[in-house]
Amino acid sequence: MKVLMFSSDPQNPRLQKYAEVLDKLAIIDLSRARGRFSRFLKGYNEAKKILKKEKFDLITAQEIEHSFLAWRLSKKFGVPWQMQIHTDIFSPYYKGESFLNKVRVGAARFLIPRASCLRVVSERIKNSLTWRLNRQVAVLPIFSEVKNPGGMDIKEKYPGYDFYILMVGRLAREKNYGLALEVMREVVKNFNALLVIVGEGPERAELKSQINVKLEGFVENPSGYYRSADIFLLTSNYEGYGLVVIEALQNGLPVIMSDVGVAGEIVKNGENGVIAPVGDKAKFLEAITRVKNDKEFLARLRENAKNTKLPYTSFEDYREKLINSWRTCA
């Protein structure tokens, strides 16, 4: 099977592993390093040259902008194309975040009925596509590789607190760190808690001066943080999946999270985590307070987190299912 892929991360080592079991994988580099806008014209022209010379079985694209290029090439060369959706683009929070996101939602509504098939990363996204006009929809979550144990123990690094809350992710608006800070201001009135945030992004300046909050920046292997925290917190307004939630569970760390992404699908309320309505400060505060004060409840969450059934047994299992979705689409 021959696949042409648009990618904003062409150096990702996983792509080479895909190529190992395909007849050919041609990767079109659409990373921002090639120009914010010019990369799309460059990528389209490169893909066109490749498709003129050789017949491919499938074009696959993840981002909305990439999917537009895939659709145009599919029409021109008669090659089926798979549209991948990794973000909950039909969440009202996504659309309301920026004008560009509104444009993306409109483009998605145009492109989805024109795709040969769809790959989404969660049942939540699949269920949002109620008007998809009989497209094939494969639900294939993102694969999360368990990192080597060890690394930073936050209780050793920051001793003297009674409860340690961890957040991991890009410091961006959609993650709603502002809500986390509001909750923390109430939490510290009741007990001596610390919020540790691992990640980088444009919201850093607003977070760095907060009391009882430590910013760790980007960490290559955060497994030590996961293993030494008491609870993982996710306050996002929307998520397609929530890979950091899976990483927390893989390390036996229970989760308190917004009703986004894998909430209800992998994170079960009251079993391996607690799910709160998006933006509901009172419910987040209630959940953190209960987990802190109810030791038996926290122990049960931790045990169930450790035993959570995840979508794949190995990378090879994930790769096989992904490539089977390509074969079915082609």
- Residue 139: band (very low, low, confident or very high) from pLDDT cuts 50, 70, 90: very high
Q: Which long-range contacts (CB under 8 A, 24 or more apart) does 67-71 make?
A: 67/107, 67/108, 67/111, 67/115, 68/107, 68/111, 69/6, 69/40, 69/43, 69/44, 70/6, 71/111, 71/114, 71/115
Side chain identity, residue 179? L
Side chain identity, residue 85? I
- Whether the per-residue pLDDT at 132 is higher than 90: the answer is no
Check if the beta carbon of residue 273 is closer than 8 Å to that of residue 255: yes
- Whether the per-residue pLDDT at 323 is higher than 70: the answer is yes
- Residue 48: band (very low, low, confident or very high) from pLDDT cuts 50, 70, 90: very high
* Mean pLDDT of the 118-147 span: 84
If 0-12 CB within 10 Å is exposed, 13-18 middle and 19+ buried, where does residue 156 land?
Answer: exposed
Q: Report pLDDT digits (tens) over 143-185.
A: 988 777 777 899 999 999 999 999 999 999 899 999 999 999 9
Residue-averaged pLDDT of the chain = 93
- Whether the per-residue pLDDT at 209 is higher than 80: the answer is no
Confidence (pLDDT) at 220: 84
Confidence (pLDDT) at 148: 72
Confidence (pLDDT) at 133: 60
**What does each C-alpha distance from 250 to 146, 228, 231 come to in angstroms?**
7, 13, 13
- Residue 10: band (very low, low, confident or very high) from pLDDT cuts 50, 70, 90: very high
Query: What residues contact residue 21 under an 8 Å CB cut-off, 6+ apart?
Result: 319, 323
Confidence (pLDDT) at 201: 86
* Mean pLDDT of the 225-250 span: 95
- Highest mean pLDDT among 111-125, 145-159, 212-226 belongs to 111-125
- Whether the per-residue pLDDT at 134 is higher than 70: the answer is no
Place of tokens 């491919």: 56
Check if the beta carbon of residue 37 is closer than 8 Å to that of residue 16: no
Q: Report pLDDT digits (tens) over 256-278.
A: 999 999 999 999 999 999 999 99
**Pairing between β-strand 193-198 and β-strand 213-217 as defined by DSSP bridges:** parallel
3-state helix, strand, coil in the chain (%, to 5): 45, 20, 35
Confidence (pLDDT) at 210: 75
Check if the beta carbon of residue 237 is closer than 8 Å to that of residue 257: no
Place of tokens 């395909």: 22
Going edge to edge, which strands form the sheet with 231-234? 213-217, 193-198, 163-168, 231-234, 255-258, 273-276
* Mean pLDDT of the 220-231 span: 93
53: left (phi over 0), alpha (psi -120 to 50) or beta: alpha
Sign of CA dihedral 273, 275, 281, 286: negative
- Whether the per-residue pLDDT at 280 is higher than 70: the answer is yes
Confidence (pLDDT) at 245: 96
Phi and psi at 219, nearest 5°, equal -130, 125
CA-CA distance, 305 to 299, in Å (whole number)? 10
Q: Report pLDDT digits (tens) over 104-115.
A: 999 999 999 999
* Mean pLDDT of the 27-52 span: 95
* Closest by Cα among 261, 260, 274 to 304: 274
Does residue 145 or residue 240 have the better pLDDT? 240
**What does each C-alpha distance from 149 to 133, 217, 222, 267, 311 come to in angstroms?**
46, 19, 9, 22, 21
Domains and CATH numbers, the chain: 2-143+313-329 (3.40.50.2000), 154-306 (3.40.50.2000)
Side chain identity, residue 233? L
Residues in the chain: 330
Among residues of the chain, what percentage have pLDDT more than 90? 85
Confidence (pLDDT) at 211: 74
* Mean pLDDT of the 127-150 span: 79
**Pairing between β-strand 81-85 and β-strand 117-120 as defined by DSSP bridges:** parallel
Place of tokens 């039909």: 90
pTM score, whole prediction: 0.90
